[in-house]
Amino acid sequence: MEITFLGTSSGVPTRSRNVSSVALRLTQRGEVWLFDCGEGTQHQLLRSHIKTSQIRRIFITHMHGDHIFGLMGLLASMGLAGEPHPIDIYGPPSLDDYLQACTRYSRTHFSYPVKVHKHHPGLLYEDEEYVVRCDRLEHRVPAFGYRVEEKDRPGHFNVEKAKALGIPSGPLYGKLKRGESVTLPDGRCIRGVELCGKPQIGRKVVYCTDTVYCENAVKLSRDADVLIHEATFAHQDAQLAYQRLHSTSTMAAQVALGAGVRQLIMTHFSPRYAPGNGTDLSQLLEEARAIFPNTEMARDFLSYEVPKR
Same domain, 42 and 175: no
> HEC profile for 75-94?
HHHHHHCCCCCCEEEEECCH
Q: Are 107 and 243 found together in one domain? A: yes
pTM of the model: 0.89
Q: Are residues 107 and 88 in the same domain?
A: yes
What's the confidence (pLDDT) of residue 309?
81
CA 18 – CA 72 distance, rounded (Å)? 17
Asked about 96 being catalytic, the answer comes back as: no
Whether 96 and 172 share a structural domain? no
Query: Do 22 and 146 have their domain in common?
Result: yes
Predicted confidence band of residue 183 (pLDDT cuts 50, 70, 90): confident
Higher-pLDDT residue of 56, 159: 56
36, 66, 135, 225: which one is catalytic?
A: 66
3-state secondary structure of 169: coil
Which residue range(s) make up the domain with 169? 159-195
8 pLDDT higher than 80: yes
User: What is the mean predicted confidence (pLDDT) over 157-164?
Assistant: 86
The angle at the Cα of 285, spanning 260 to 232, to the nearest 5 degrees, equals: 90
Using CA atoms, how far apart are residues 68 and 70, in angstroms rounded to an integer? 5
Same domain, 86 and 170: no
Q: Which of 190, 149, 136 is nearest to 167 (CA)?
A: 190
* pLDDT for the residue 71: 97
**Same structural domain, 56 and 76:** yes
Do residues 215 and 183 share a domain?
no
The answer to whether 71 touches 60, Cβ cutoff 8 Å, is yes
Q: Same domain for 82 and 61? A: yes
Same domain? 294 vs 173? no
Residues 109 and 138 in one domain: yes
Same domain, yes or no, for 207 and 79? yes
CATH of the domain at 30: 3.60.15.10
Domains identified in the chain, total number: 2
User: Which of 167, 195, 223 is a domain's end point?
Assistant: 195
- Specify the amino acid at residue 123: L
Instruction: Give whole-number Cα distances, 37 to 73, 132, 167, 308, in Å.
Output: 10, 18, 51, 28
- pLDDT the model gives residue 254: 98
- Taking the C-alpha atoms of residue 32 and residue 265, their distance in angstroms, rounded to an integer, is 19
The whole-chain average pLDDT of the chain stands at 93
Q: End of a domain among 195, 218, 251?
A: 195
